[in-house]
Structure formats: structure tokens, C-alpha cells
Amino acid sequence: MSWSGWGDPARAQALSPELAQLVHGALRIQRPGTPVPAIASLRLPALRLPAAALARLRELLGPTHVRTDPEARIRHACGRSTPDLLRLRANALEAAPDAVVEPGTHEQVLELLRACASHRIAVVPFGGGTSVVGGLMPRADRFSATVALDLRRLAALVELDEVSRVATLEPGLRGPEAEALLAARGYTLGHFPQSFEYATIGGFAATRSSGQASAGYGRFDERVVRLRVATPRGTIVAGEAPRSAAGPDLRQLLLGSEGAFGVITAVSLELSPLPAVRIYDGWRFDGFADGLEAVRRLAQDGPVPTVLRLSDEVETALDLARPEQIGRGGAAGGCLAITGFEGTAADVARRRESVTAILREAGARPEPDAGPAWERGRYSAPYLRDALLDAGALVETLESAAFWSGVPRLYEAVRGALVDELTAQGTPPVVLGHVSHVYPTGASLYFTVACAQLDDPLTQWRRAKAAACDAILVAGGTITHHHGVGSDHLPWYERQAGELAIGALAAVKRQLDPDGILNPGVLLPQ
Amino acid sequence: MSWSGWGDPARAQALSPELAQLVHGALRIQRPGTPVPAIASLRLPALRLPAAALARLRELLGPTHVRTDPEARIRHACGRSTPDLLRLRANALEAAPDAVVEPGTHEQVLELLRACASHRIAVVPFGGGTSVVGGLMPRADRFSATVALDLRRLAALVELDEVSRVATLEPGLRGPEAEALLAARGYTLGHFPQSFEYATIGGFAATRSSGQASAGYGRFDERVVRLRVATPRGTIVAGEAPRSAAGPDLRQLLLGSEGAFGVITAVSLELSPLPAVRIYDGWRFDGFADGLEAVRRLAQDGPVPTVLRLSDEVETALDLARPEQIGRGGAAGGCLAITGFEGTAADVARRRESVTAILREAGARPEPDAGPAWERGRYSAPYLRDALLDAGALVETLESAAFWSGVPRLYEAVRGALVDELTAQGTPPVVLGHVSHVYPTGASLYFTVACAQLDDPLTQWRRAKAAACDAILVAGGTITHHHGVGSDHLPWYERQAGELAIGALAAVKRQLDPDGILNPGVLLPQ
């Protein structure tokens, strides 16, 4: 992963001339963004790790698995939100971990947490480093130091129970690594978020990730049947059966705990057979309202495609679903939808035929290139962001979800808040929206915002994000559908969940992590 | 509901001569059971409610909604487990609530909880009174008194959001009442547990109920999208969207909390369209192992019937699926399965055709009468228990669940433990088993045990139950799949969840219920 942007540096690319022209024209960009500095020039806070603590960590893990070199610290200093990237470009890292530790076993994680508790060292669990909500911020004010707990060495397929169709995976496996291990045995997790190529199994669980094929395979949290978590006070294993009436679902208390309750060291997941067939179709609706109605019909009455997405008019016009086409397409108007089908040939044929009939009846017109184009570009959008930041655009995404009856209001509220706030700042934005996750009772909304960068793009974005979050709360949507709370959403999460619920979660944290060393300031207030 | 047994007293019936003969022969019953005493003869503990507290409750709710008469106290003194019924028959109620309170609004529940906290009164939330795990035991040792909080007046359909297909229901609605309100608008919850006719919406949520049609409609907890809970410290509302990445799922922390965290005062649920067609088919497999294999195939690869059940050889021989046939059928041997289909005509036809082909290929033979017979008797088994208790049999049920690879071991372990323990006590039992809830990764197992009553049937059963629970833990199944923890499962639940997890839940309870007044001794140790 690039230390300063998204993904494989070899795949980075500049804006096409068409897109550059479009962006400059539409956003009225005056000058390029701050370029990425040389990594060697990056300023880091002084190392604070006490010598005794460092010695103890080295004794526990071996010296090669306790890194304090600047590059390791920089690579674990933040996630991949636009504010994170802007801070790196501005050479303005506010904090960095004092060390990066790499435990190799569950028992080492346990010992590490005990050692850190006794030395008052904060611990930031680190998987793929792809958080876009400030979930990886080393906050050390109350602590003697901070370490990033990198889970890369916990990367095994521990068990494959083919009778139950359950795989037990370690948390450090990245998406493609996990899929390769399972594909060799004929299975898939069916979990393909945009961050798939870099994010990890543990991160998917800790943040309740949802993938692009969630309509068919479900969310990641819905496929977790057992979890093992290491806490400063010991181990919790939850999940003796697929479902149970034995009290509150402890798995659902640990999923989404974002490293604040413990470190997930094993995840057992429901598997699906590797699909024989994968087909993605494109459709064009006259407008977003028509498309929403049709998508809801499929989500409620079926058959449900494996992938079901609907772009609004602006996203369709910019054709973000086909990044290589950006600035070239969109003349046809309306709203683009993608339906994808994965499974056996017979199952795919049956569902596809029925969905095709329903969408035609709903007024959708086939868009033959759109499906394959979406598939080619499905993991590419984050690369585009780096090029846009270079060009002087501010670009970021955010997401929410609501019950169906509230989706149109939520859509208008968030769009309106972003347009109003950024226009008031003198940088009228382009706001793109889509529905990418559907349920019988509701759907997610995902927004991409682009505008010209001001001199202080961090403050510029913080104000726009706050306006959008306020709007989500007023409109009654969830503050995050699949990005997580992190530290960025925390003030709104507290307002939405309410004092009593936050108090209950804080009580759980005190019980499992009495010294509060785990991911301080993430999920819960410090 | 009968005060001393199950359901409508008018539907109670004695054993048929065939069944009586079978039972006496198979179980070697020596003498009839203790008959039900007259309700007027029942001994109750002295009223302990302090006058000031009684006055305060009457002021809050109005005098007609605070009942202290013996019948009200008896009717709220326990649930409907066999030990509960044996205690009533033996005129040996150990405890009873001092008053039954009937709040009419969420705000009254809040005020009531505050008043009870200030007067140190324990509160046992009471819905349909059908707990079979000691979930309604008034325990007042640490308190000045105990009240049963009967939710019967909170029984409205609060909102029906047809766009989102979500209904908000109050907790006191019994199953048939809720279904009638929704059927008038064209919808169903699809939740039909054996207790359906008496149990309530709030109870389904508080205990994570699972219905006979769970394969098609899902468990009750899976259909809950929003909850409102009154606690002594205020209100929690959880669920802004179908799914969210905003931290742990608070709904899943409240579902299954069995009245120990708060009183559920509203439940929003995913609805399904009222099915146009309902068809139940019967099948006969050569053996339980063959049937398990076929049932697993359907659960994993589909199509999944709406109802999917498989009886073992003993249950099939006794034909408990057809209570009116008990003692007459069973000569054909093998194992009976039920597949049910509910939905549109086209959907039912498609799934039924495909399931029929799969089951025939798996060696199952159609059993034409079995499906309709199962439908007729689906809520009748608890009536039979009363007749068996009269006849001197001890009869009780228990359930667990495991991942598929562990199901055969769990089945053998529980059966073996029950047979060994009760045989050692001199009362060799008949143990019947079935699978009634399936998931892609596992299934539930439900056992019915019958033997001759000893002089002290409570102790007799307590020892058998303990042996079965020990066996469940050793075999790695969940201590309860859909009955709940109550007080009966508490020691095993503590062992299974572990000290750390129980500590986390206890911390939540202290946060929401600092005085510990809510359902003390249920779910968590006092």
C-alpha cells in the first residue's frame, strides 16, 4: 500500500485530459493541490516509548517484531480518509505510534495487552490500514506511549469445516488472501467492499463492513458465526451455534467494537460455494425515484440479485461507475443501475430472467456495457481520489442508511447540506449519490463530494462533514452504514445512540479494558 | 390461560385409551400424578408490599391496575415449565409477586421503574407467562417486595410503514392478536412458535424466540429492526436503519436480555406479505442420519422451505407430530420430515417442486397425511403434557443448537445423558428428538423426555436437566436455542459465556438498572 495514498503505487495514474478539463471547469479549481512530500522529509513526534517498556515488548515478540523506524511509524499513523491524506501531504501528522508491534499468536496478543496495560501504553489495532473514519488515530495524551498492533502475522486459515461450511480465519488476512485460500477449496466469503484488495478479515469484523455483493451474500457481520477476542483481561469466545437464545448476542456486541473492546484474533464465517457464474448487467432508469422504486421492489419481493446498485443522475452523468469513461459518457441522462448475479448457472439464469422482466416492466432500459465496465472498475475509485487531490480538488465520500420510507428525505438532506455548506465556503461542490446496499426494510446511501480545495482543506472538509452528519441525524438515518464510527463520527454517534446506550457500552469497555488502553477515542469518548 | 396448565381449559383433554396404555406400558407408571388443587386452596407467601409503595403504585397507575388479589398473584407466580406446573400441583409455590401492575404507556413504565427502584421493589416483566426456563420467578430476598409488570395494556399496532414494510407493535400483543392486526392490512410476521397462541411480542423479543416457520421467515430477533426499552435510568431507542456500522448492534444487546436490562415497550419488525398459499408436506426417511443430510442440503444449497422439520426414529414412532394419532401410527418406521411452503402461488410452486425432487433423490418417500396433520396439531403438544402429568408421567422438553458438524454428537450426548440419568434414578425414559430450525451453518435439536414420576418429581427432573445441560456444554452446543436462559439455565450459561462476557453483561445491567430491581436472578446472577 502506498504510504501517502491508495493502493499499489504502480497503479496510480493522473487524470485523463478529458476529466482534468471537466474537473477544472465544473469545480473552478484555481491551483493544484499540495503534492506528496518525500517520505524522508516527514516530521514525526519524538519517540516516547520508555526503555523498560520497549525491552518488554522486544522480549515478548522478538526484536524484529517491534519496529520503531520512521517508515513503520508513518505507515501506521493514520488510515485512508481524505483528511488523513491531506495531513500526510501537508507534512502535518499530529501523532504517530511510538512502535509497531507484530504479535504472531493469540497468546502473544494477550501478553502484549497485559504488558501495555501495565506500562500505560495505548494500543491501536491495525489491519489493512484502510479506515476512512479516523479509526487508526494514535492518541497518547493520557498514556506513556502508543503502539500500533499490526495483525499481519496472524494470517492463517485455521480451520475449514466443510460439513458446516464454516471457515475460521485469522484477522490479518487481506481480502484477496482469504479468498485465495478459500477458493482453493471451492468456497468464497462473498465479501467484496471497495477496500477489498487491502482491508483485512479482522477489520471487516471490527467495523461491520459491507461489500458490493451484500444483496446476495449479506454483510460481513451477518456471516460471522464465531469470534475470538483478546482483551487486557483475557479471552472471549462467542458463538457455539449459528443462532442462540442464550442472552444478548455477544458476537454482535464485539462486531463493530472497532478495537475498543479487544483485538479480534479469529473469525469464523459462513461460506458460500464458489460461484460457477458471475454476470453483471447495466440498466438505465429515467430518474432516481423510478430506480429507487424498482430496487425496493426487488429487495422486498425478490428475486434479489447478488449485486444491486443505483446511481443518481449526477453520478450517472459523471459515470463514476466506469472510471475509465469519466468525462466521456453521461449524455444519455437518467440513472444507471447495476444488477449482478453469482451462483450456479441455473440459479443465475432463473434470477436474472426474472429480474430482467421486473426491471423492463419498471421502465429500465438495458445498458450493455455498463455491467462489465462496473466490474472492471469496482476497486478503482480510491486511485482516482489521489489524482484529484493532486489536481487541487477536495474529494471525499460518506454514507448512511435508512428505512425505505425515509430514504428520499435522507438523500435530499445530505445532498442539500453538502451543497449549502461548501457553496457558503465559496466552493460549490458536485455531489454524487448511489444506493449500494439494500434490505427488505431499507437501503444505504453513499455520497461522493468534490469541490475546489481552499487553503485549509482540512477545516473546509471538517465543516462540510459536520453539516452532512447533522443532516443525517435530523433526517433519522444511521450515522454510518459501513464505514464505522472511528473518531470522526464519534460526536454524532454519541448523540444518536444517546447517553444511556453509550454509558452501557462504556461500561462494557471498562470491564474488558479497565485501563482504557484499547484504541482510545475511537468508538467511545476517552 | 389455565392457571395451572397450558392454554384454554376448554381444550384440555385426557389421554386417549391407546396413548394411556402405551404410556403406562412404556414408562411403567405405578400411580397417577398429583392432581391440580383448587385455586382457592393455594398457599401464598404473605404480602410484603409496604403501604407507601402500594399507595405510590396506585397513584401512578390508578387503583384498578394494581392488583394484590390471590388469583392475580398466583397467575403471575411462574411460567409454564414442567417444574412450574409441578410446584402448582404440589401447592408448593415458593414465591409469588406481591402485586401485579399494569402500566398503560411507555411513560408509566418509566415512572413505575423509578418508583420501584426508590422503594427497593423487584420487577418481573410479564408478557404471556409462557416461559419454560424459570424466566418469571419472583425473587425478593434482597428487596422489600416484588411486582409482576404485566404488559397486557400495551397492546397496540402503533405504526405500519407500508413503504418500508415495518410495523411497530407494543409488547403486550399476543401472537394471534398481532397477526390479526397485520393480516387486516395484508401482512404477517411469520412468527409461529408452539407458544404462539399465548406468548407476546415483547416476550418473543426478550427471549429471542424462534418460530416453526423460521427457515422461511427467520427468527424473531432477525426481524426486529428497532426497539424501545424503558429502564430505571430512562429510555433507549435502537435502530435507525435496517443495518448499520455504528458500533455494536444495540438491538442485539437488548434482544435476549429477558427483562434484566429493561422493559421492551415497542418493537418494530420486518413484515412479509400475507402468503397466498400455505402447503405442508410430509416425508419419510429411512433414518435420522439420512434425513439430517437432506435437511442440511436444503439449508445450505436451497431452495429453503418455509417450514423444515425432521423427527428422529423415536419421535416418528410415537408420531408426536400428529398428536391425535399418538399410539396409533409409527409402524412404518424411519423418520418423518415436514416441509412447508408459504408465499405466492408461483414461488411456492417453484420451491416445492425443487424441494420435492431433492428429497426424492435423497431417498425420502412422500407421507401424504403428515403435512396437514402436523398443521392441525402444531400448537397442541403443551395440552398433552397436562394430561401426561395427570397420568403420572414426568414430561418436559429442552433444546440446543450446534454447527452441522457437531449436530450428531450433540444429539447423542443429550439423549445419552437423559437416558443414563433417569435410568439411574429407576425411571428409564423415552427420549424423542427433532430438528426444527435450520441455518446454512447448523441446526437446532429439540428433545422431549417422558418417564414415570418419582415421589419428588422436581428433584428427579432437576437432576436429569442438569445432566442434559452438562452434556450440551461438553458437546459444544448452545445451552438454549430458543427457550432463553431464565433462571434454570443460568449456571450453564455462566459457564458457557465465561466470566469475562458475563462480567460485561453485568456491567451493562449495572449501568441501566443500578439497583438491580429488574428480573433479579434471571439471565445474570443476583
Contacts of B483 in chain A (CB under 8 A): 245
For residue B499, give the chain A residue with the closest CA: A236
Closest residue, chain B, to A270 (C-alpha)? B441
Q: How far apart are CA B451 and CA B461, in angstroms?
A: 10
- Entry field: residues in chain B: 526
How does pLDDT run across B488-499, given as a tens digit for each residue?
999 999 999 999
| Angular region, A46: left φ>0, alpha ψ -120 to 50, beta rest | beta
pLDDT at position B13 over 90: no
| Contact between A166 and B439 (Cβ < 8 Å) | no
Q: What is the pLDDT of residues B131-153, one digit of tens each?
A: 999 999 888 789 999 999 999 99
pLDDT of residue B318: 86
DSSP state of A34: P
What mean pLDDT, rounded, does chain A reach? 96
- For B497, the grid coordinates are 459465556
Closest CA to A197 of A43, A65, A412, A10: A10
Q: What is the mean pLDDT of chain B?
A: 96
Supply the pLDDT for residue A323. Answer: 55
Residue of A164, A477, A504 lying closest to B404 (CB–CB): A164
Among A18-27, A316-325, B430-439, the range scoring the smallest mean pLDDT is: A316-325
Return all residues near B73 (Cβ < 8 A) that are at least 6 apart: B44, B67, B96, B97, B98, B99, B100
- pLDDT of residue B321 exceeding 50, the answer is no
Alpha carbons B339 and B321: distance in angstroms, whole number? 13
Q: How far apart are CA B371 and CA B308, in angstroms?
A: 11
- Residue A339 is inside which H or E element, if any? strand A335-343
Which chain B positions have a beta carbon within 8 Å of A159's beta carbon? none
Residues 220-259 of A with CB under 8 A from B: 221-222, 225, 231, 233-238, 240-250, 252-258
CA distances from A405 to A290, A304, A476 (A): 14, 19, 11
| pLDDT tens track for A495-524 | 999 999 999 999 999 999 999 999 999 999
Those of residues 255-284 in B touching chain A at CB distance below 8 A are 255-258, 270, 273
- What pLDDT shows up at residue B319? 73
Q: Is there a contact between B189 and B179 (Cβ–Cβ < 8 Å)?
A: yes
A140: pLDDT confidence band, cut at 50, 70 and 90?
Answer: confident
Measure the CA–CA gap between B274 and B185, rounded to whole angstroms: 9
Rounded to a whole number of angstroms, the distance from the CA of A293 to the nearest CA of chain B is 10
- Which has the closest alpha carbon to B477: B410, B405, B397? B410
Residues 6+ apart with CB under 8 A from A259: A124, A125, A135, A206, A518, A519, A522, A523
Three-class secondary structure of residue A224 per DSSP: strand
Average pLDDT over residues B292-302: 97
CA–CA separation, A238 and A264 (whole Å): 11
Please check the confidence at residue A18 and state whether its pLDDT lies above 90: no
**Residue A159 is inside which H or E element, if any?**
strand A157-161
Nearest CA of chain B to the CA of A476: how many Å? 6
Question: What is the grid cell recorded at A510?
Answer: 471498562
- Phi/psi for A200 (5° steps) reads -120, 165
Mean pLDDT over A168-183 rounds to: 98
Minimum mean pLDDT range among A212-221, B12-21, B472-481: B12-21
Chain B contact set for A404 (CB, 8 A) = 163-165
Whether B123 and B519 have beta carbons less than 8 Å apart is answered as yes
Interface confidence: ipTM more than 0.85: yes
Give the model's pLDDT for residue B80: 98
Q: Which residue in chain B has the smallest CA separation from A275?
A: B301
Q: For residues B474 and B326, what is the distance between their CA atoms, to the nearest angstrom?
A: 33
Residues 425-484 of B with CB under 8 A from A: 437, 439-444, 476-484
HSE, side-chain direction, 13 A CA sphere, residue A193: 25
Interface of B with A in 294-323 (CB under 8 A): 296, 300-301
Task: For chain B, say whether A404 makes contact (Cβ under 8 Å).
Answer: yes
Q: What is the pLDDT of residues A466-497, one digit of tens each?
A: 999 999 999 999 999 999 999 999 999 999 99
Q: Is B83 on the interface with A (CB under 8 A)?
A: no
pLDDT beyond 50 at B378? yes
Confidence at residue A343, expressed as pLDDT on a 0 to 100 scale: 97
Q: CA A337, CA A289: separation in Å to the nearest integer?
A: 12
C-alpha cell at A401: 442508511
The C-alpha atoms of residue A325 and residue B22 are separated, in whole angstroms, by 78
Percentage of residues in chain B having pLDDT higher than 90: 93
What DSSP string runs through A416-448?
Answer: HHHHHHHHHTT-PPEEEEEE--EETTEEEEEEE
**Three cell numbers written together for A440:** 427488505
Chain B contact probe: residue of A114, A160, A243 with most B CBs at under 10 A: A243
- Contact status, residue B465 vs residue B81, Cβ threshold 8 Å: no
With beta carbons under 8 A apart, name residues in chain A contacting B238. Answer: 497, 501
Answer whether 0.90 is exceeded by the pTM. Answer: yes
Q: Which of A187-196, A401-410, B14-23 has the lowest mean pLDDT?
A: B14-23
Q: Give which of B403, B437, B493, B502 to mutate to test A binding, by max A Cβ within 10 Å.
A: B403
Domains and CATH numbers, chain B: 33-150 (3.30.43.10), 157-273 (3.30.465.10), 277-377 (3.30.70.3450), 381-483 (3.30.300.330)
Q: What is the mean pLDDT of residues B90-95?
A: 94
pLDDT band at A321 (very low <50, low <70, confident <90, very high): very low
- Residue in B243, B444, B508 closest to A439 by CB: B243
